[in-house]
Chain A
Amino acid sequence: MIESFFDGNQVEILETHVDPITLLSGPPCCGKTSLLFQFAYNCASQSNANVVFMCNRSRLQSKRPYLSQSIDPSSHVFKLIQMKYVEDDEEIKKYFAAFHQHDKIPTAVVVDDFGDLFDDRTCQERYTNPRGRDLAMVRTLALCYNAITHANKKSPCKLLLSDTHLGNSTRLLYIYKRWISSIFTVKGDGPGSFLLRNKNYSRSCGLGKTRIAKYSIALKDLVFEGITDDNEQ
């Protein structure tokens, strides 16, 4: 699945078993939005079906994602990607609460900066609880999980979330792990270069190898630089 974050012309995207919900977690400014966009493009072009991309509008406009060079920005595939601008967690909840009402279920839903949609103060007030933000995330993730699992009974549907973490890993991993079995993390590897690695928490953990993809956004393009097996487990 790690290949689906990159250009299909540069790396072969295999149709292996894909977990329905995936998290991409990384430090700020490491190209997460770009990887998400590539993923959305790949999903749309492979299945020729709708993909919904949810993000904060002003953030997207101030930091546009980088596409890989061989992708034509005027490609018809982008018409299949439906942008949905959201401001907070209530909007995400409303969307997934009504997910079963879609006539045509999208083949993938991508949510950029999932964690940022949860405002500390608002959540604490809403639940009158100092851990309000964690509580809100638990509820929203449970709702997403239920929406996607139900949708998959009728047609394949994937959910990809991204979150920003400071330091070595996300503090909220203990919450995410409960509903998300496939987690990718990004680590810096020199200026503009990064390593993307998958950690699998699902039942099949230990059967598959952990792989690391190297990529760069140094020259304002998403450049795939190779995949290796992870030797340090």
Chain B
Amino acid sequence: MALSSEQQTELQTHLQQAVVACNERCLYFAAKWAAELLNSFPSSAHDTHDDASDTDVDDDNELPPKTQPSNHDRCEGRLEAKELPRYLLAKSLFDCREYDRCAAVFLPSQVPHSRPSQDVLSPTKLHSTPKSKQRASLSVKPHKPQPVQLPKNLSQKALFLALYARYLSGEKRKNEDSETILGPADGPVTANKEVAGILAILEEYFSARGGIQDLSNSQGWLDYLYGLMLMKTKSDDLAKQWLLRSVNLNPYNWSAWLELGSLVGSVEELQQISDHLPQNIVKFLFYIYCSQELFLQTPEVYNSLAQMLSIFPSSAFLAQQKALLHYHARDHDTAMQIFDNLLTAHPHRLDGMEIFSNLLYVLPNRPKLATLASTASDTDKFRPETNCILGNYYSLISEHEKAVLHFRRALTLDRTFQAAWTLMGHEYIELKNTQAAIESYRRAVDINRKDYRSWYGLGQGYEMLECYSYSLFYYQRAAALCPGDPKMWAAVGNAYSKCGKIANAIQAYKRALAVGSQIDTTSSFGSTQDPLSQAIGGALDPQLLFDIALLYERSNQFSEAAAFMELCLAQEEGADEGGEEGLGVTQITSRARLWLAKWSYGCGEWERTMELANELCQDGVEVEEAKGLVRDVRARMAVREREEEEEGGE
């Protein structure tokens, strides 16, 4: 899907306006995102820009006024012009991170009377005659107190900036109150105290302007803030509506899309909201982002990614998404290659690099991880991403204490940095500090509900604490998020069996089996349909088969158990005649063989028992028991022969 040149220019204009508008509202990250995108059009477009450098300067000069027409509402424009000096002050204060002062520029907070101001009481005031006149006027003050919280005649931009600053100052205070990571005051106990006030103001503001239905009166920024606040108060459905409204009104605010994305918990939900999304290019980007977050691997995702890459060939954002998609598909080599390219193209870009370090950890590729760590440290030592990379590095060389230290540092820098919470959970598991691990994972899923690794980690933690019904719940959440991973289902099955729900456990294991065989057969094609719609093909995991068999044994369904043991045994061979190779003899298959041997012994099938036991002796596994069986069977067979002889004799 190539864009015509007009379309491209239009898109560029939109993006340019978006950068300016986001910057005006101090949404730095959204501005960065839009600016990155703006600079990732095909290089030919850039070249023409570079060639005509002289004339372009003029063009650029014409651009800033274009922000004016973006206020389609005339009235807004007038208001903004009127409050420009105050706005500039507020913006500067915001940039200096004096959030409270910034908010007070437009929303002055009432300072309650505490002690009389000096000039009211000072004797000089009583002496001089002109001032005494003034004093008389004190009793008849011209201005009336405004019981209304919200000053009228504020432009949306000013209101947004003020409320946003208030929110950030609340966040800052919350951070200060939370004290140490995982300390007693850390976590949901300390909340942002400003949220309620901001919500009240926005509610008043919007209800005065026709509520959620009336789209005409908003530019979408305040809607975004409202949605954000609603998310903080756990009203997700409402928040989703407002964020949808925001992205419809103003599609180039990537922050709103991100928040919306964090509310999308499943593929169905994504489908649901996609009807309500604006039809433009950002929607595609959002779709790619969400699919990546939801671990979707459909061809459509790859298609639209390719399309977008044709429009924005040098977009780091898209490259990162692509790498993540491949990483989730366990296509580690491609993912690594993309990350490598990304790093060469943008050596100082740290966004998402913690995932690269995860990839390098999994591979494992220590030298590369070390290089990445030092590059990141050179760029900025005090970025959460850097500290995550360092933590991963230390974890890889088994210095878990140091790793925890770095993850903690990452979290001190940004408590909402979810990757660090998850990774810290892993480290605590390594350090056998289950409680801390559980707490870390819990914080991770609080921040991002779609992170199946943390759910899985929570399950593990509780399993170690022997709280099986808890671990079952977490494994289920993990499996629901990542249904294509047999480990999740196996874990669910294991938890079910620990809870004594054998039928469910068998179901879960079977699902793991189905999913597992699917991966083997289809991963080469790169597409996953519903794994269960296809018959079971490919190799089956003998461990799972063995577990299923044991569960059937526990529920006294011995023939079923025997069937699964046989299946397990069969995995030594290739799956089909189709030339696929089997696994050979393993610990598990030997145990299955032993079980089968005992089973056929119990059934009185002496020949089969002999055969299996002999195989066991050959393989050198469980030799003692096998030999015992052989002896026993021989004796029995001898007895039988004798009996037969006797019968014959008779």
To the question of whether A and B form a pair in one complex, the answer is no
Give me the interface of A with B, judged by CB distance under 8 Å.
none
